[in-house]
Structure 1
Amino acid sequence: MKEPLLQGLIAAPFTPMNEDCTIKTEAIPAYADFIAAKGCLKGVFICGTSGESVSLTLEERKNIAEAWTNAAKGRFKVIVHVGGMSQPDCVELAAHAASVGADMIAAMAPGFFKPASVKDLVGFFKPVAAAAPELPFFYYNMPSITGVSLPVHEFLAEGKKDIPTLAGVKFTHNNLMEMQQCINLNDGEFEVLNGFDEILLAGVACGCKGAVGSTYNYIPGIYQGILDAIESGNLDEARRMSKKAVDIVDVLVKHGGGTRAGKIFMKLAGFDCGPCRLPIAPCSETELAKTREELEKTDFFKYTAV
């Protein structure tokens, strides 16, 4: 069996912003150091949901991609999300990602005018992947955001015929039957990356070798603990570590989910990524204090302590 392109934990970084919500690319080298210092992170998945991709301009996304590929310095892999609503924009972003030295690209389905069939989705992605012919391409499946619920295993099977670089899927969904169908397709031909942080334990049990998550930015040690416990055959310990993650994600959900609350959590973890761009509402000092209080009842600060 071939070595996976991606295995272990891959963080989904937030896009650093100034208080006026302009992009703060000068913060990315320090962010890259923050990621590298965690020790257990194998890569970054940039300009995805956590990175507020659809709220950014093409030029901003290019600048962010270039900053991350430069800052990574071979310490970890850089996967650039190039998805969007406009196919020509996606093609342009894919070509740019290749030109600046990205390791891989990924794209979610367009979520306004949606593909009605697997054939339509393949047709949308074909020129995008072709614009970066040397880079592995991952489908970013997240039906809760895109509203596109086409069968992923069918997309992989059909897509490979027209997209030779199709390597797998970032599976951000809780349909574990479909996840297993993707993992088992053609004797494990495709890589399936677990996408919901709080079900990493289940994803690994299904057969995922890699995982992409926003909470890996600040508490990767908890998730590495899950992986280590599974590797050693200690399922009780894996469950115990998973509960720690679930307790923290529960607070995350109360404050707006991965992107909005994630930036609040990053500030509390010691790396301020600034506010989110509207329409995501800003965080008040009162909410920040409340979030800290809630997180103190979890193991958050134990795992974010420097």
Structure 2
Amino acid sequence: MKNLIAATYAPMQTDASLNLSIIKDYAGFLTDNGVSGAFVNGSTGDFTSLSTTERKQLIEVWAKNKPEEFYLINHVGHTNLRESKELAEHSAEMVDAIAALPPFYFKPRTMDDLLHYCKEVALSAPNIPFYYYHIPVLTRVDFLMADFLEKASTNIPNFAGIKYTNDHMQDFGKCLKYDSQKMKLFFGIDEKFLDSLIAGATGWVGSTYNHLAPLYIDIASYVSQGEMEKAKLLQAKAISFVNILESLGGFHGGSKSLMKSFGLDMGPSRFPHKAFDDEKMNKAKLLFEKEEISECMSKPFYQDTAQ
């Protein structure tokens, strides 16, 4: 289990301005819990509610505080191709890879349109890997990725694979079989982690790896030992974790608010996501205890005050 990558939050002050000072501790928290990398400026990170300048500021600080052997991916997708290329070029010398989802207002109508967009972005940072971010539930851009993978690998020199956030296991399975030595797939639905593992996934990007990294590492361990019932039990807890936060007011705002319990106050979310108040957070914690989820959570971060 070397490829559990956390989709990171954009930490904010109480006035919803960026809180860049917490990122060093955030990186330390992730590595302490067995997470191997960070996917910055993605859906979890409120990227649609950030300015281009703010997205640049975030990745600059992450790059300066990147732990050793920590894989840093910057998401540079945008509705504006020029902005996306600018973000890609800006981060080219400071990250391990870039990723981009497609324009999602005026959408690519054909796969060739999508390939054109991806190639323009990828070649703005030609010396590092480029990953396509496939999340059709939000972008409504939905082509078979097995077909896209074949075309992109021959048309985009630095194309490296896909962040695959879609519940289409047949298509995902076909992608896994395509030149696995060169192409990397990151599965992106945390609630289907076990299914993807059984299918052959070796890399993941997700929000709940911020909170439940030990649980997923244990799932992988149980699968490797053939203890499938134990793995299924843990996967059910991960699903309950998501459902509890969603039922109390929204997973995105709730999961970001929960980070305070780990010693990292990520601050509020930007509209339309809503942070949880103390009452909702306490209800969530009681339900986590009832469902025996709390015992599976990541270790809190404690700053070394002796330094």
Q: Aligning the two structures, in what range does the TM-score lie when normalised by the shorter sequence?
A: over 0.9
Alignment partners' CA distance in 2, 1:187 and 1:271: 37
Q: Which amino acid aligns with 2:269?
A: C
After superposition, residues 173-184 of structure 1 pair within 5 angstroms as 173-184=166-177
Secondary structure (helix, strand or coil) at the match of 1:41 reads: coil
The answer as to 2:130 corresponding to 1:130 is no
Percent identical across equivalent pairs? 32
After superposition, residues 23-102 of structure 1 pair within 5 angstroms as 23-38=18-33, 40-99=34-93, 101-102=94-95
From 143, 161, 172, give the equivalent of 2:136: 143
Distance 1:156 1:256, change over 3 A: farther
TM-score, with length taken from structure 2: 0.92
From 268, 275, 284, give the equivalent of 1:282: 275
Displacement after TM superposition at 1:243 (Å):
1.8
Displacement after TM superposition at 1:256 (Å):
4.8
| Deviations 1:39-69 (CA, angstroms, capped at 9, x unpaired) | x211111110100111111111011001111
From 170, 174, 183, give the equivalent of 1:190: 183
Contact 1:126 1:163 in 2 (8 A): yes
Contact 2:22 2:264 in 1 (8 A): no
Alignment partners' CA distance in 1, 2:263 and 2:24: 15
Q: Which amino acid aligns with 2:23?
A: I
Q: Which amino acid aligns with 2:36?
A: K
Which residue number in structure 2 is paired with residue 168 of structure 1?
161
Which residue number in structure 1 is paired with residue 305 of structure 2?
none
Contact 1:44 1:77 in 2 (8 A): yes
From 82, 90, 105, give the equivalent of 1:112: 105
Distance 1:173 1:304, change over 3 A: same
The answer as to 2:295 corresponding to 1:299 is no
After superposition, residues 6-25 of structure 1 pair within 5 angstroms as 7-25=2-20
Alignment partners' CA distance in 2, 1:64 and 1:187: 32
Which residue number in structure 1 is paired with residue 222 of structure 2?
229
Q: Which amino acid aligns with 1:33?
A: G
Q: Which amino acid aligns with 1:166?
A: F
Displacement after TM superposition at 1:175 (Å):
0.8
Alignment partners' CA distance in 2, 1:305 and 1:77: 21
Contact 2:160 2:184 in 1 (8 A): yes
Q: Which amino acid aligns with 1:287?
A: K
Q: Name the Cα RMSD after superposition.
A: 1.7
Contact 1:215 1:258 in 2 (8 A): no
| Deviations 1:248-300 (CA, angstroms, capped at 9, x unpaired) | 12213224554222212212333210110112233223222222222222333
| Deviations 1:108-129 (CA, angstroms, capped at 9, x unpaired) | 1111111111100011111110
Contact 2:16 2:269 in 1 (8 A): yes
Distance 1:255 1:143, change over 3 A: farther
Q: Which amino acid aligns with 1:119?
A: D
Which residue number in structure 2 is paired with residue 3 of structure 1?
none
TM-score, with length taken from structure 1: 0.92
Which residue number in structure 1 is paired with residue 243 of structure 2?
250
| Deviations 1:191-250 (CA, angstroms, capped at 9, x unpaired) | 221100111100011111111111101110000001111222222222122122122122
Contact 2:262 2:299 in 1 (8 A): yes
Runs of at least 5 residues in structure 1 that lack an aligned partner in the other structure: 1-5
Displacement after TM superposition at 1:305 (Å):
4.6
Displacement after TM superposition at 1:132 (Å):
0.8
Q: Which amino acid aligns with 1:55?
A: S
Secondary structure (helix, strand or coil) at the match of 2:15 reads: coil
Alignment partners' CA distance in 1, 2:21 and 2:69: 19
Contact 2:257 2:275 in 1 (8 A): no
Count of aligned pairs:
299
Runs of at least 5 residues in structure 2 that lack an aligned partner in the other structure: 301-307
Contact 1:14 1:259 in 2 (8 A): no
